[in-house]
Amino acid sequence: MGVGNARIALGRHGEDLAAELLQASGFVVLERNWRCAAGEVDIIARDVAADAVVFCEVKARRGLGFGDPLESITADKLRRLRRLAGHWLAAHDAGPTRIRLDAIGVLLGGPRPRLRHVRGIG
């Protein structure tokens, strides 16, 4: 498997684990890897308890050699995620609704994956 394929597989595995975490926390996953011309959102879910649509960025790493996975979420990434949320809401005729931007860091370097869910990142 080439480096690009390994990175894609790592990202997909991280997103699978993140979706499972969200569902176990009472969220309803609406879409995964939603795309439009402006980019892609990893996971879009409804936080039933908060009555909000959540746009979730997932970052997965095999170790901490390049820092915590969540450290790679920049201000530019947050701006793009906000813009993508607007595109998704417009495409789905959602009307007025509460939204939230979340992030899930997935660390796969040990015997068990470690996930950290940060709500309201931007």
pLDDT score for 3? 63
CB 53 within 8 A of CB 30: yes
pLDDT score for 63? 77
Q: CB neighbours (10 Å) of residue 87?
A: 16
Residue 45 CB contacts under 8 Å (≥ 6 apart), including other chains = 19, 22, 27, 28, 29, 30, 53, 54, 56
For residue 17, the Cα-to-chain-centroid distance in whole angstroms is 11
pLDDT score for 51? 93
Half-sphere exposure of 74 (CA within 13 A, CB side): 3
| CATH for the stretch 3-118 | 3.40.1350.10
Q: What is the pLDDT of residues 41-72, one digit of tens each?
A: 999 999 999 999 999 999 999 877 778 899 99
pLDDT score for 96? 75
pLDDT score for 1? 55
C-alpha–C-alpha distance, residues 51 and 39, integer Å: 25
Give the residues of the chain that fall short of pLDDT 50. none
Strand partners, 40: 35
Q: Which helix (H) or strand (E) holds 46?
A: strand 39-47
Domain boundaries, the chain: 3-118
- Closest Cα to residue 46, out of 36, 38, 56? 56
pLDDT score for 43? 98
